[in-house]
Amino acid sequence: MRAVLTNSVILLFVWVSLFSACAPPVGIYHTVKPGQTLYRIAKTYGIEESRLAQINNINDPTQLKVNQRLYIPGISQPRKVPSTASTSASKSPRVTTASPATQKKPAVVARQPTVKKPAATKTTSTAKPVKGTFIWPAKGKLLNKFGKQDKNVYKGIEIGVPKGTSVVAAASGKVIYSGSAIAGYGNLVILEHSDSYFSVYGYNHKNLVKMDDYVGQGDKIALSGLPPNGQSARLHFEIRKGKSAVNPILYLP
């Protein structure tokens, strides 16, 4: 009788173990919407950004695509993720309110060009980069400029500095990446700023900040180092507007 009970207990334990092992893991898929960043998605769901990137095989957190699906482990219901596009969305009514004005003025031919010209200058002025928005992250010789050079395309600039030179934040912001998992950049720091701007600091000998840190303009964030390809000591610096790399020289004093 005892043998029968013992066998029954063992079988029950095995069945429970198998059932629990076969239970599907809890998790959801989040669809990326315009203006959402990996940092904001990770923060909303309470997961570390580095872990979320690793789970979804993301090498560059600034290159998320709209409608890209991200697996979020340990979550049963989707959550509303704030979007940086909210500021631009709030400006859209201004464009729609201006359109009736342009429709009412065909009868007055002389006024049409005078109304359109100020609108054109406003859009171009807001689109143009402002010198001095960012500061130089390090002082040194400009080794490579932004754009195509010698069959290579540079997304930023490279500044020649001795190894161990202090690298400072070009603008105040939040650290959304600090690590070496992105190929080609070595030790890398990425800062998120207002108005969907990002700054990128690569080839560091040592990162002095960690993810989720807030830094002020001019704060020390890293020590410069050597690029992975064995070239001379330098700092790789990028400025991005959303997903697009822009010429840092246009923003520096």
The pLDDT tens digits for 117-143 are: 333 333 233 457 788 889 999 999 999
- The letter for the amino acid at 61 is P
Q: How many CB atoms lie within 10 A of CB 101?
A: 11
Name residue 69's amino acid: R
Look up the CATH superfamily of 141-250. Answer: Glucose Permease (Domain IIA) (2.70.70.10)
Q: What is the mean pLDDT of residues 63-75?
A: 86
What are the pLDDT digits (tens) for 78-97?
Answer: 889 987 654 334 343 343 33
Q: Does CATH number 3.40.50.300 belong to domain 25-81?
A: no
Q: Residue 135's pLDDT is what?
A: 96
CA distance 238 to 244: 10
Question: So what's the pLDDT on residue 40?
Answer: 87
Across 215-233, average pLDDT: 93
Residue 200 is predicted with a pLDDT of 97
Distance CA 163, CA 176 (A): 24
Query: Are residues 139 and 253 in contact, defined by beta-carbon separation less than 8 angstroms?
Result: no
Mean pLDDT of all residues belonging to the chain: 77
Q: Which pLDDT value is given to residue 51?
A: 82
Query: What average pLDDT score do residues 100-104 get?
Result: 44
Backbone angles phi, psi at 170, to 5 degrees: -70, -20
Q: Cα dihedral sign for 81, 85, 87, 92?
A: negative
Least confident of 60-64, 153-157, 242-246: 60-64
Alpha helices in 128-248 (DSSP H): none
201-211 pLDDT, tens digit per residue, is 999 999 999 99
Closest CA to 78 of 149, 156, 26, 14: 26
**Predicted local distance difference test score (pLDDT) of residue 47:** 86
Q: pTM value?
A: 0.56
Domain boundaries, the chain: 25-81, 141-250
Q: What is the per-residue pLDDT for 53?
A: 84
Say how far apart CA 67 and CA 62 lie, in whole Å: 15
- β-partners of residue 102 are none
Helix (H, G, I), strand (E, B) or coil at 109: coil
